Amino acid sequence: MTSDSINSPRLPALPAQSISHDVLMEKYVQRDEHCIDDIHQRVARALAQAERPGHREIWASRFLQALQDGFVPAGRIQSAAGTTLAATLINCFVQPVGDSITGNDEGYPGIYVALAEAAETMRRGGGVGYDFSRIRPHGAWVAGTRSSASGPVPFMRVFDCSCRTVESAGARRGAQMGVLRCDHPDIEDFIAAKDHGELTNFNLSVGLTDAFMQAVCDDRHIELVHRAEPGPRIRTDAQHQRGDGLWVYGVQPARALWERIMQSAYAHSEPGALFLDRINTDNNLSYCETIAATNPCGEQPLPPYGCCCLGSIDLTRFVKNPFEPSARFDEEGFSRLAGLAVRMLDNVLDITAWPLERQRQEALDKRRIGLGFTGLGDALVMLNLRYDAHEGRDAARRIAQALRDAAYAVSCELARERGAFPRFDADLYLSRNTFSSRLPEAQKARIRADGVRNSHLLSIAPTGTISLAFSDNVSNGIEPAYAWRFARRKRLPDGGTEEYIVEDHALRLYRQRMGAEAPLGPAFVSALEMSALAHVKMVAAVAPYIDAGISKTVNVPADCAYEDFKDLYMQAWQLGLKGLTTYRPNASTGAVLEARSRPSCSGCAAPVPSA
């Protein structure tokens, strides 16, 4: 299954960049390891332990080849598989949060029980996403007391403090996602939660419904609702109980709230947008779960206690004759590797440590995995295709389709060998306008005959650190290259930072093959040299082939006008996406990356602005 190297046999391998070496040594190597191949051997042996005795050495050899050929498991797997660390191999989870303080709220753990569960999850190395919408709004009546509720945002501060305090296994900083529905009475407090530098250990996203989005389009009002009864101190004539049991706390013009969301996203890059109805309609398991939140980076919409078992394939490894007129993508080699990667991620679910028993039960009932890719931007450059052009999007679409077809085919083979996931029901799984209902007919027939091992198989995650450490800084996930040469600040263990000059992998390979003075062609277009809409259109091209989600950040320059920014989330909803985030450097967000002088580039725009 080995693919030919993309490097000419006459040229030496690219020397490691200093930041790639330092990140590898700091985050991934274990005792007595010194290089990537040492990590590969440890990970391959660990994942092979899920295979039958007597076959493990064979599978360990195949898994090692897969890692050498460009499969890049997520950071938790790279750092902890095959070690004695008390760490999970799962990057992220979603944890439920109820409305009571310590008891159960219709099966949801009380707030401080949820806090303890999240702390244990982060201590074991997992990031956590939460939907805080069940917490009653500020001022609502608390039955059996003389007090009124604090609302979600004050409790989020407690979770933020806990995340900052807990040291995770493997020295990983805690990561959290906080979600609140757009119709929660405290939604404006949530949107403003980061206005003064708070909640630094959270990403924030608003859970947007189709009803709300349509109300924005139609310039109508929306009701702000919750199931908790308003207290006497805040009761108004507008408040009443609806037929569905929810209490109406007030009404608001949808466009006014929408404007508040977009102004906040423009000012400090949050909140992001999650389109809840699209997420749940598309969900293969909508017959047995409802999703209200995602993992911290947004690529995995998950039910309570759900997890994301992630890995990515480096697309640049499958570009033949890069930068030449004869450049092509090796779809056959890519599909073979994708199939083996599915088996490896399925094995992760059986060998990992689980922070909580509920997480283990949820994972083994549904066996979600998230195979994706990294290096899309660089691969398109190597194929002489612009990321922001129709031809580039069409190539990405074909790659995503090949990934889908290979992944589902192997998951069916695994179901025949190991059994389908326990919650599998063929009739329900293949109906109701879900992602799986739109699979090719031959694939659906196979699923009916053999079952499928994994309820979900595909997710495109951000891969900044693993792409930097294991793939010579290829462009991150689905993103285009941020810049061809830039300064990157890396956080040090003592809390300080160190600045590195980093070059993009495609540029380094181009210079090696074409010479230091060769002008760059028009395919060398970076994130800030294309329109924001071009970023959104790339997600729309790939999304129909990805069953879970895609983490995509639309990078916009600091001097982008608000008028050119304010419609991005609306465009994403109209294109059928599940979510989107933006990043515009400013005084409050700062900048981890700063573009430096751009190499000469024929046929491209002006130099990249500093970020």
For 344-379, the pLDDT digits (tens) are 999 999 999 999 999 999 999 999 999 999 999 999
What band does 306 get if pLDDT is binned at 50, 70 and 90?
very high
The span from the CA of 305 to the CA of 316, in Å, is 34
Mean pLDDT value across residues 21-50 = 96
The span from the CA of 415 to the CA of 361, in Å, is 19
Active-site entry in 117, 223, 270, 299:
299
Mean pLDDT value across residues 170-198 = 89
The arrangement of strands across the sheet holding 579-583 comes to 307-308, 92-94, 127-131, 176-181, 202-208, 272-275, 579-583, 553-555
What does the pLDDT read at residue 193?
Answer: 95
What does the pLDDT read at residue 588?
Answer: 61
What does the pLDDT read at residue 386?
Answer: 98
What does the pLDDT read at residue 144?
Answer: 67
Q: Determine how β-strand 104-105 pairs with β-strand 108-109.
A: antiparallel
Degrees, nearest 5: CA angle 338-344-350: 150
What does the pLDDT read at residue 587?
Answer: 67
Mean pLDDT value across residues 75-90 = 94
Degrees, nearest 5: CA angle 75-77-81: 140
pLDDT at 597 over 70: no
Residue with tokens 């002489």: 384
The answer to whether the beta carbons of residues 381 and 523 sit under 8 Å apart is: yes
What does the pLDDT read at residue 142?
Answer: 80
What does the pLDDT read at residue 167?
Answer: 63
Mean pLDDT value across residues 126-144 = 91
Q: Count other Cβ atoms within 10 Å, centred on residue 31.
A: 6
What does the pLDDT read at residue 9?
Answer: 43
Integer CA distances (angstroms), 83 to 29, 86, 585, in order? 10, 9, 39
The answer to whether the beta carbons of residues 290 and 131 sit under 8 Å apart is: no
The span from the CA of 389 to the CA of 521, in Å, is 14
* Kind and range of the H or E run holding 108: strand 108-109
pLDDT at 454 over 60: yes
146's CB contacts (< 8 A; 6+ apart) are none
Q: Residue 191: name the closest of 26, 182, 128, 134 by CA.
A: 182
How is domain 92-302 classified at the CATH fold level? Anaerobic Ribonucleotide-triphosphate Reductase Large Chain (3.20.70)
375 three-state secondary structure: coil
pLDDT at 132 over 80: yes
What does the pLDDT read at residue 106?
Answer: 81
Q: Residue 266: name the closest of 549, 556, 55, 515 by CA.
A: 556
587's CB contacts (< 8 A; 6+ apart) are none
Across the chain, what does the average pLDDT equal? Answer: 91
What does the pLDDT read at residue 231?
Answer: 72
Does the annotation count 299 as an active-site position? Answer: yes
Active-site entry in 283, 295, 454, 476:
295
The span from the CA of 268 to the CA of 582, in Å, is 9
What band does 102 get if pLDDT is binned at 50, 70 and 90?
confident
Q: Determine how β-strand 370-374 pairs with β-strand 310-314.
A: parallel
The span from the CA of 173 to the CA of 26, in Å, is 13
Active-site entry in 92, 163, 297, 601:
297
pLDDT above 90: percentage of residues in the chain: 81
What does the pLDDT read at residue 143?
Answer: 72
pLDDT at 605 over 60: no
121 three-state secondary structure: helix
What does the pLDDT read at residue 244?
Answer: 87
The pLDDT tens digits of the residues spanning 463-501 come to 989 999 999 999 999 999 999 998 888 777 777 888 999
What does the pLDDT read at residue 432?
Answer: 86
- In sequence order, what E strands does 439-570 have? 485-491, 497-503, 553-555
The span from the CA of 298 to the CA of 300, in Å, is 6
pLDDT at 603 over 70: no
pLDDT at 233 over 70: no
Residue with tokens 């799986």: 436
Residue with tokens 């993309």: 6
What does the pLDDT read at residue 594?
Answer: 64
The span from the CA of 224 to the CA of 228, in Å, is 12
How is domain 1-32+309-548+579-611 classified at the CATH fold level? Anaerobic Ribonucleotide-triphosphate Reductase Large Chain (3.20.70)
Q: Count other Cβ atoms within 10 Å, centred on residue 217.
A: 14
What does the pLDDT read at residue 341?
Answer: 98
What does the pLDDT read at residue 191?
Answer: 97
Query: Which part of the chain is CATH 3.20.70.20?
Result: 1-32+309-548+579-611, 92-302
Please report the sign of the dihedral spanned by the C-alpha atoms of residue 450, residue 455, residue 460, residue 461.
negative
pLDDT: which is higher, 426 or 608:
426
Burial 228-261 (b: 16+ CB within 10 A, else e): bebbeebbeeeeeeeeeeebbbbebebbebbebb
| Helices 390-418 and 532-542: angle between axes, nearest 10 degrees | 30
The pLDDT tens digits of the residues spanning 395-404 come to 999 999 999 9
pLDDT at 5 over 70: no
pLDDT at 62 over 50: yes
pLDDT at 298 over 50: yes
The pLDDT tens digits of the residues spanning 521-547 come to 999 999 999 999 999 999 999 999 999
Determine if residue 41 is left, alpha or beta; phi over 0 gives left, psi from -120 to 50 gives alpha, anything else beta: alpha
- In sequence order, what E strands does 508-608 have? 553-555, 579-583, 593-595
Does the annotation count 297 as an active-site position? Answer: yes
